[in-house]
Amino acid sequence: MQLSGTHTAKATSAKVWQVLMNTNTLARIIPGISKLEKTGENSYKSFSEIKLGPINSTFSGNLQMENIDTEKGFTLKVQQNSKMGNASASIKIGLSNLIENAVEVNFDGEVKLSGLMATMGNRVVGSISNTLTRQFFENLDRELSVQSG
């Protein structure tokens, strides 16, 4: 399943970058993530709870940040496992200055599902991924607002 989108954040690229690179903040803005534990340079053990249609599931796995280009972007690699199946993703996140205090945050990547999640079909999972994307950007905006205020 392909994921892509853009969002305009009302902040400087330095501020958006600071939020995205902070482990505690990142855990608050990624929907479903309940905890990130640092395991190495730019790698984390992640724990999440996500509702997929009528089913709630707990996931655990790894989150890795690669190809880090300060204030410009990085690649987020995620591997999550649960009783419902596994999910792996590689998502490129980029930042582009638009005007003063406005940054375009764009993402493009692919998610691979297995197990029950894959059999649920792209329609259900696709709808959920759109909701999670919207929640991520709402959480990012809220975090930027709190840190600026």
Q: What tens digit of pLDDT does each residue of 34-61 get?
A: 888 999 999 999 988 876 666 677 889 9
Alpha-carbon span 124 to 35, nearest angstrom: 25
Superfamily of domain 2-144: START domain (3.30.530.20)
Q: What is the pLDDT of residue 55?
A: 67
- Residue 148 confidence (pLDDT) above 80: no
Q: How many CB atoms lie within 10 A of CB 92?
A: 15
113 vs 41, higher pLDDT: 41
Q: What is the pLDDT of residue 1?
A: 75
Alpha-carbon span 103 to 111, nearest angstrom: 25
Predicted confidence band of residue 122 (pLDDT cuts 50, 70, 90):
low
Instruction: List, in order, residues 6 or more apart from 89 with CB less than 8 Å away.
Output: 3, 76, 77, 78, 109, 110, 111, 112
